Chains A and B, each alone.
Chain A
Amino acid sequence: MTELTCDELDALLPELFDGRLSPEVESASLRHLATCDQCRIVVGDLERVGEMYREHGRLTLPDDARARIRAILEQG
């Protein structure tokens, strides 16, 4: 496969994050990232944004609401 441009890699980012690229295209993406500082910074930042939200962005239903709703559903 020919080498990817920055724009081509940009278009592939959703699939790259999803791990849904074919092995050939994934290899080409990783080759591009190995040689392109700009794209590597963008991809690294976007991964970090996702990590921060997974770590700090999930919310927990408060216990009192959980108990109340579960009781309603159990009666249903």
Chain B
Amino acid sequence: MTTAPQPSIVALFERLADGVYTLAARMTRDRHAAEDIVQETFLRALTRLHTWRGEGSIDAWVYRIAYHQSIAVLRRRRDEPTDPATIRDLVTDPEGSAERRVLTMELAARLDAAIGALAPTLRAAFVLRDVEGLSTRDVASALELSESAVKMRLKRARLALRRELEDYL
């Protein structure tokens, strides 16, 4: 078997850092946990890069590591309540007039709450497909699901978010 050319880990990090952070933060709803997941994901990718055979996209391979890390964090704290303050740290201060900043912050908070109310498996499918723009095939690879299972989760996620956000539609 031939081995696919391996991209540099730093180049991968530059390209995927924000996407992996978005997935981890949306999954864990905790900025600091998300930063730790980003670090651990790319360290694991660094040590395992030689095992990537070019089957499927390398982006999906990296997101799969991040997804497993995120699930592990959720499992560890299953019995701990989520601190609502942590999610506020995720919203960066928007630019523009004071009025626009307030409206944007309000919308961002509603979006955070709506996506946070989804089951983690629906959240991951929605973030990877609709926010980060991965193909359905890559999302299936990252989440180790069939494409039809991804489509089902996407549909449930989108309909749930539509219900939560109907005031804004």
Contact = CB atoms under 8 A, between A and B. Distances in A.
Contacts of A70: 10, 13-14
Contact of A48 (B25, B42, B154, B169): B169
Contact of B131 (A45, A54, A68): A54
Contacts of A53: 111, 115, 126, 130-131, 161
Interface string A28-68: 00000000000000101110111011101111111001101
Contact of B35 (A50, A57, A65): A65
Contacts of B107: 52, 56
B23 to A, nearest CB: 9
Nearest to B23: A59
A6 interface: no
Contacts of A1: none
Interface residues of A, number: 31
A70 B46 CA distance: 12
A69 B162 contact: no
Interface-centre pick from B22, B46, B130 (highest chain A CB count, 10 A): B130
Contacts of B111: 52-53, 56-57
Interface of B: 9-10, 13-14, 17-19, 21-22, 25-26, 31, 34-35, 38-39, 42-43, 46, 90, 92, 104, 107-108, 111, 115, 126-127, 130-133, 135-136, 151, 154-155, 158-159, 161-162, 165-166, 168-169
